[in-house]
Amino acid sequence: MGASTAADRPVIVQNDHTILLETGGPVYEEARDALVPFAELVKAPEYVHTYRLTSLSLWNAASAGHTADEVLAALERLSRFPVPANVIDAIKTHMARYGKLRLTRAGDGALLLSAHESEPLALDEAWAHAPVQTFVAERRPGALVIREDARGRLKQELTTLGWPVEDLAGYQEGARLEVALREVTQDGAPFRPRDYQRKAVEAFYKGGQSGGGSGVVVLPCGAGKTIVGLAALATVGQQTLIVCTSDMAVRQWERELIDKTTLAPLDVCELTGKRKELGPVTLTTYQLLTHRKSKQVEAYPAMDLVRAHPWGLIVYDEVHLLPAPVFRMACEVQAVRRLGLTATLVREDGRASDVFSLIGPKRYDVPWKVLEQKGWIAQAACTEVRVPMSDALRRDYALAPQREKFRVAAASAAKLDVLFALLARHRAEPTLVIGTYLEQLEAVAQLTGAPQITGKTPAKERERLCALFRAGQLNLLLLSSVGNYSLDLPEASVLIQVSGLFGSRQEEAQRLGRVLRPKEDGRAAAFYTLVTEGTTETDFAMNRQRFLTEQGYRYAIVDAAAVLEGGA
């Protein structure tokens, strides 16, 4: 609807391309949701959030079908003051650049780079860029013939140059696969993808047109990204490689494939440390693809193996985690349809542009709070508990080398008393305790008697403990950072984070996601972060929370004393 008067409008657009959003007032949520498709959150303190317009955020918006006029209309509707002229120009310029260079197929099958008729000089600028010339097989009137093996590297270079390529060259057809989604799961429950899951697949596939078939779907943890992958597989109907974060994630995908598609168990193969086989649908891990005998050896044996198979689709689960060698593989398989699944495209290493150019642009995104309002994910109350330092810890922290200060603060023994108070408060609820430092988890395990899952826990034991937790026979489970991804624990409603990985926004979002599956009784989830007061851990916690704050979550900040006294 928009604000009725200028004073009610919560947005201020500044000359430096930043956007200020006031969090109070009735139009805040509308404005937040309007900004998400085309602006990136920079920081999110309590009262005023700061966003930034970047070339990548605007290109993603353009690739999703948004126009510069739509972006400007949203800003003008919500902005308290006129949008600066230089910002208007930047929005129009950046968004106009998407698709001005296109990859297509000539009648003879050659891969052509050409410019849209409205921007013919874009091709000349591309040719003048020396790295691009190394990818060119020949020049034709109005087009450059690109070497087949250079398709991905060309897109990377041109994205860096400021000319994001719209890839309309299509894909090689993989080996056919007869597969459909079941209407009833194996245990007799009716099954049908949710409306937003179907829309995500439609946005990715685009009816098989040349502009579809590659890109990223962004959905919250607990919203069923795996179902999107299954539906995409059934839509494409070709042999598929699914790249997962861990062996445990492989098991989860395998269960879902057998339970919700018409695939027979023999159709689902795995390329892991235990089994090495390729089949109609093959599950593997990033770790296995990037394994090599030694750092001195350049070859990646598993990657060479999968390159030779006739895939029609590659699904990258948790695509924001792509390690550098897998970027290389993604660069080389541009003729195969590619689907990236993630809860957040945030990358702390700044390689989001590689995800954009090699996997594809963001095709579908839904704000977390929108799905919460519709009941598809659980409501969650986020609380940061500030734990004071003892005199002894204060001395240890002061004397620690700079690179060790965070660890000293994060592993503070003073957090244990607060943890026990929270566990007592939620003793009747399925609870996860997660931390980065194994010695800290071991101390919790010894004092509570609760089992723990770490990187050293055998796969069978992980499965056993998760099964006990799902069945309600285990109410408290301790997790190291391996619990950030792919643990299927929908019953968990409380998560207590005793330590994290510096300022990782990815990790914060993934950990909250462990408790966002909707509960049968409709109860809300509780997410606690224990932070040592007056240390670098407090600063890192603010950065960790930025992505979730963008999604509409608010963190209550309380003192440890209040928790210990049974208060907030």
| Architecture of the domain defined by 372-564 | 3-Layer(aba) Sandwich (3.40)
Q: How far apart are CA 487 and CA 466, in angstroms?
A: 8
Question: Going along 190-336, which residue ranges are E strands?
Answer: 214-218, 240-244, 268-271, 281-285, 313-317
Instruction: Output the pLDDT for position 298.
Output: 65
Instruction: Output the pLDDT for position 425.
Output: 92
Rounded alpha-carbon distances, angstroms, from residue 361 to 61, 85, 146, 202, 558: 9, 28, 21, 14, 40
Q: How far apart are CA 306 and CA 239, in angstroms?
A: 12
Q: How far apart are CA 97 and CA 92, in angstroms?
A: 9
Long-range CB contact pairs, 19-23, < 8 A, 24+? 19/50, 19/51, 19/52, 19/53, 19/75, 20/48, 20/49, 20/50, 20/51, 21/48, 21/49, 21/50, 21/51, 22/47, 22/48, 23/47, 23/48, 23/49
| SS3 call for 216 | strand
Domain residue spans of the chain: 6-97, 101-167, 195-366, 372-564
In CATH terms, is domain 101-167 a member of 3.40.50? no
CB atoms within 10 A of CB 542: 16
Instruction: Output the pLDDT for position 568.
Output: 52
What CATH code would you report for 195-366? 3.40.50.300
DSSP 359: I
Phi, psi (rounded to 5 degrees) for 45: -70, -175
Selection from 174, 219, 216, 156 nearest residue 193 by Cα: 219
Kind of pairing, strands 101-105 and 111-115? antiparallel
Q: What is the pLDDT of residues 248-303, one digit of tens each?
A: 889 889 999 999 999 999 999 998 888 888 999 999 988 888 877 766 566 777 77
Instruction: Output the pLDDT for position 567.
Output: 55
Instruction: Output the pLDDT for position 205.
Output: 93
Quick check: do 195-366 and 372-564 share a fold? yes
Q: How far apart are CA 283 and CA 317, in angstroms?
A: 11
Q: How far apart are CA 495 and CA 512, in angstroms?
A: 7
Q: How far apart are CA 226 and CA 260, in angstroms?
A: 11
In what order do the strands lie in the sheet containing 214-218? 268-271, 281-285, 240-244, 313-317, 337-342, 214-218, 362-365
Q: How far apart are CA 559 and CA 201, in angstroms?
A: 45
Contact assessment for residue 542 and residue 549, using Cβ atoms and an 8 Å cutoff: no
Q: Which residue ranges in the chain fall short of pLDDT 50?
A: 1
Phi, psi (rounded to 5 degrees) for 94: -65, -45
